[in-house]
Amino acid sequence: MRYKILFISSWYPNKLEPTNGNFVQRHAEAVSTLHDVEILHAIGDRAQQEKFIFDDKIINSLRTLIVYYKQTQNPVLNFVRRMQAYKKGFLRLNKPDLVHANVLQNNMLFAAYLKHKYKIPFVVTEHWSGFLQINRHRLSKLQLFIAKKIAEKASFLLPVSQYLSKDLKSAGIQTKMGVIENVVDTNLFHIKKNVPEKFTFLHISNLIRLKNPEKIISAAIRLSAEFSNFELQIGGDGDVETLNQLIKSQQAEDFIKTFPMLSSREVSDKMRNSNCFILLSVYENFPCVLLESLSTGTPAIATNVGGIPEIINEKNGILISNSETELYQAMKKVLTAQIHFDEPEKLHEYVENNFSINKIAQKYSQIYSQVLN
């Protein structure tokens, strides 16, 4: 049966944060292949004069209503305005059969409000690494209390990894859970056709400290003392200029190239023209970027943290600790063909069978049916 589903999220791409929560957008687009989906998001803007601005448009075939409210320096007033923005936005949309909320932060109290006022059930997909055991000391008692209260009202809590599911349970959240992973457009992220002239390592992220871009550069420089037949391409939607300065200071411009934020199609092109992806994060949940890399037939070196071991195994990559030395050693093994992975077709097939639009949409559809029948 085709249901009306309203997606709301603590994070969603918008004019102020164009890539924030793009994994939620991908989930919504996947669900829309089987159901009628609308998006509602509210976010504060300090620069605007109007109390509310309604940005209602079709994005990737989905009606997407983003309500911008005038943000102040008062967090309580901001929260009140955000809830007002959600209420005003909701009245402009079609009444849904079910609300699909994302991320157990106070924004999602709106899902509990809709259940109370209109008897609309809701499920929650959880992406936030804030609930991981390693980060829980940073959560305030109020944040955890609110998360538990929202979760209590939800019909299902759907973390994106087994690792996150375990840590949510250890935090005392007892809502019925089922893991539904992040999704990949396997048509866009298809198998590579070109073999690069030089062996190419690739890293794409927001380049923040926990992604360790400097360590990746240092490992590449160390490798260059022994080998000249490779290059590292590193970039994304972060501080590329600081990396450029580091690369220049190490006289590594010949074999380390940077690039700015890319579109999804450009990311796919980069991956298809690379030999090995690198992700050296301190912690992760279930990184889309690894699934995308494997979908293009490109194996990966990644840290053995969070949900990454649920993706990477000896057939498609190498798991290492958060160590520059281990990264250098893994890069050397891959570069000198001391280690062999499955054929690109098998790597793509693994993603297709487990994380494709069709597969993830079906998983969500089964949950919706359980809630609504």
Percent of the chain with pLDDT over 90: 95
Tokens of 114: 């809709």
Tokens of 61: 């075939």
Residue 339: exposure state from Cβ atoms within 10 A (0-12, 13-18, ≥19): middle
Angstrom CA distances, 3 to 37, 40, 41, 134, stand at 8, 17, 20, 38
pLDDT value of residue 197? 84
| pLDDT beyond 90 at 133 | no
Tokens of 89: 């936005």
CA dist., res. 115 & res. 101, Å (int): 12
| pLDDT beyond 80 at 195 | no
The region that residue 255 occupies, defined by phi over 0 for left and psi between -120 and 50 for alpha, beta otherwise, is alpha
CA dist., res. 159 & res. 163, Å (int): 9
pTM: 0.93
Helical segments of the chain, H only? 22-31, 75-90, 109-118, 141-153, 162-170, 213-224, 240-249, 264-272, 288-295, 324-335, 344-355, 357-372
Taking Cα atoms as reference points, which of 37, 300, 290 lies closest to residue 181? Answer: 290
Superfamily of domain 4-183+356-372: Glycogen Phosphorylase B; (3.40.50.2000)
pLDDT in tens, 86-103: 999 999 999 999 999 999
Please determine whether the domains at 4-183+356-372 and 199-354 fall in the same fold group of CATH.
Answer: yes
Taking Cα atoms as reference points, which of 7, 1, 64, 65 lies closest to residue 34? Answer: 1
- What would the mean pLDDT of 60-74 be, rounded to a whole number? 97
pLDDT in tens, 304-344: 999 999 999 999 999 999 999 999 999 999 999 999 999 99
pLDDT value of residue 130? 85
| β partners of residue 42 | 67
51 CB neighbour count, 10 Å cutoff: 12
Q: Give me the long-range contacts of 238-244 (CB less than 8 A, separation at least 24).
A: 238/205, 238/206, 238/207, 238/208, 238/213, 239/207, 240/207, 243/207, 243/213, 243/214, 243/217
CA dist., res. 203 & res. 200, Å (int): 10
**276 in Cβ contact with 170 (< 8 Å):** no
Supply the DSSP symbol for 127. -
CA dist., res. 180 & res. 158, Å (int): 6
Tokens of 151: 């979760």
Estimate the share of the chain in helix, then strand, then coil, as percent rounded to the nearest 5.
40, 20, 35
CA dist., res. 216 & res. 199, Å (int): 16
CA dist., res. 200 & res. 276, Å (int): 7
| pLDDT beyond 80 at 151 | yes
pLDDT value of residue 134? 86
pLDDT in tens, 175-190: 999 999 999 999 999 9
Cα angle value 253/287/129 (rounded, 5°): 110
pLDDT value of residue 86? 98
CA dist., res. 144 & res. 229, Å (int): 50
Residue boundaries of the structural domains of the chain: 4-183+356-372, 199-354
What CATH number labels 199-354? 3.40.50.2000
CA dist., res. 11 & res. 130, Å (int): 14
- What would the mean pLDDT of 120-124 be, rounded to a whole number? 98
- What would the mean pLDDT of 187-206 be, rounded to a whole number? 90
**pLDDT band at 19, cuts 50/70/90?**
confident
| pLDDT beyond 80 at 71 | yes
**pLDDT band at 371, cuts 50/70/90?**
very high
Percent of the chain with pLDDT over 70: 100
3-state secondary structure of 356: strand
